[in-house]
Structure 1
Amino acid sequence: MRDVFAKIQASTTRADAMKRDRTYPYGTVLAERRGPVAVVGGREVIMASSNDYLGLSVDPRVVEGAARAARRYGASCTGAPIMNGTTGIHRELEERLAVFLGREAAVLAPSGFQANLALATLLGRGDTVFADRANHASLVDAARLGFGGHRRYRHADLGHLRRLLEATDPDCGRLIVTDGLFSMEGDVADLPALKRLAGEQGARLVVDCAHDMGLLGPNGRGTPEVQGVAPDLVTATFSKCFGSVGGVLAGDREVVDFLRHHARSLVFSAALPPPSVGAALAALEIIESEPELRERVLGLSARLREGLRAEGFETAGDAPIVPVFVRDDERCRAMWRALLDEGVLVNAVSSPGVPVGGELVRVAVTARHTGEQVDAIVAAFVRARAQMPWRAAMPSSSESSPKVNSQDGSSLRAAPSAQARMEG
């Protein structure tokens, strides 16, 4: 008889081996966190692994926004939004975000993950979702939870997407789903081409702006603003640029109202806690009034990427997400450990975060980093590589990616990534 827990042993054995050789990169405990610096194992390290791109999670105004909401409404709503979980600030944030994103309406979710899971409600029998292979796991799970079909196209390969669309029953409902800014390689989707293709094929377009809302575009509205495209629906999270937690879906009012009343991840979950709402409201005000934060972090990320390329590291993208490709799981974890020993905390990313062969060290800068800290990160990479017995086999930068040449990120364009090359 097969034991459903049998698969656990292999995972446990692998994790134990990583811990023995000090290359277990998951769940690193931060004893303290002070903006771009954290305390790990009793010593200060440069925090280069956070998605807090604008540094707002520790901004006193955002912290006070959370505290003020907690004092007025408490720590939790203790109920679903459609029941007793909607307060005045929940509705205020929804209305403010709808205006910010240029949409008719918006609805909050307890997390960005649950905002994307809400899309499953749109996928009935006879419908098909077409998803970029590099999409976030929450979009993958939304497709799996829906009753419709699920087709995945090679990353950024619109020719492949077209063939999949053309091979599908023309009478089925079609939904194209993509990240705006991809979370691992830092490249962006080609939204104008996706929008044109959606129009030709009678499909709807949904864009997850988790990593770009608040960051890209003259007003911080994300990749759709940069590329001048209005998707049928936008999803996003507050756990990146907004320094809080929670999610949002924004679009036409009737679509948003349908999700508000039917999406299981919204209807059957406790509402976003008031402190998180208060923090997100304060962050939105800062994002709208202080574009220099976006300018600063984009400039720092360009400095980091150029410094790494000058030292021969292979990297990509032109956003605060700076991937350094290692292309081997064991080497990736060893590089993570060496960097931590050198005083820099990054993320080691292996399958299923990226395809096998696409392993990378993910570095992220924030508006709170200094130029000196960015240079220190580059120097740490050089020292860490020198410690590796396989350093001669490290991938080197053999091509350049488009650079940010305007401080609002308006030069960002879609480009084939390393993952696209592997899958192609």
Structure 2
Amino acid sequence: MKYKNKAVVLGTNYYIGLGVVRVLGMEGIYVVSIDYEKSHYGRSKYVKEALIVPHYKKEERELVKFLIDYAKKEEVKPVLYPTADLYVEFMENNFDELKEYYLWPNDKKGFYKKLMDKKSLLEFTEKYGIKTPEIIDLDEEDVIERVDREFSYPCIVKPRDSMPFVNKFRQKAFRCKNKYELTETIEKVKKSGLKAFVQRIIKGPESNCYSFDVYMGRDGEVKSFMTTSKIRQWPINFGASTYAKQEYISELYDICVPLFKGENYRGFGEVELKRDEKSGEIYLIEINVRFVNFVFLQYAMGMKNPFYYYLDSIGEDFEGPKITENKGVYWKYKYEDIFAIRAYLKTGQMSLGKILKDYRFKKVSSTWHIKDPMPGIKFFLWAISHKITGAK
């Protein structure tokens, strides 16, 4: 095997982790999966070691010890991968200990955590003159009165840290149509103890939701980038993409790259943005500092982000594509897209004609791959069982 450093992937119980595993395996990297329980995706053929470990939150110290003990047995340092925000937080919280035994590109302790937090992110967007939707923190005084004065309804209540919020409420945000709904939502969120804020809604269709995906090298330069636009998402309007396409949106580079360069960002990053349907202005919604839904769409476009992360970590040079034309490549997460389609039809936001017009037979799947079929088969069987039994 050409590459001696193992890739240790934190979290392969979701299609993002599965995509990371596949990219690394296809590039000839020895992959170790780390999960606290078995996954309904089963085991990819590219996983050489599948390890069940202590829970990253409930047994944090035990997981740190497990990872260190594992790395001590290796001749060379493994490369450590986060596939979810909570794994980024885990790595940040134990940065010094893990850095002694593992490799990963970021060497600025606490930096990723500040970018993930929707409130502290404003320090960076304001610095570079990037527009963001106006927010009011729930901890501030007179929140309801300020929303009445400064916003218009509907508005949304969003978390400062997405994953605990999603785990608690099973959605990324609450849409509030009036003062009554906002008051009720604020009480519910405050009771949970989670930090959140009210945000003005940037109005526009799903197709106005964009992402800018980039890999920044250790020299501070853009090594590869591409842009995408949403077609559908779940939950609708304020969820994660279920159907999307690669589409070149030229303005995004000039909005996003100054921040990454100015802060000496290193590694893969994704910026989510939305264009206001009335003003035409583009607003930054959030920054993801870990691998994302489109990891295999990116790979299909020649943008091998998990592999760049590996090469960057071990000190090798690389260069990827900078995609400035429309390639007509689509991506789909079929399982949740079914729920999304039903909701769009029910609310009248999309017609059957529109859905059929957007359909493409040739697309990149979140889960299925002909060269690695077992995870797709396992997930399909799980989904059927889940639907029949009503299991959570």
TM-score (norm 2): 0.27
Work out which structure has the larger RCO, using CA pairs closer than 8 Å and 6 or more positions apart in sequence.
1
* TM-score calculated relative to the size of structure 1: 0.26
Q: In proportion to residue count, which structure has more strand?
A: 2
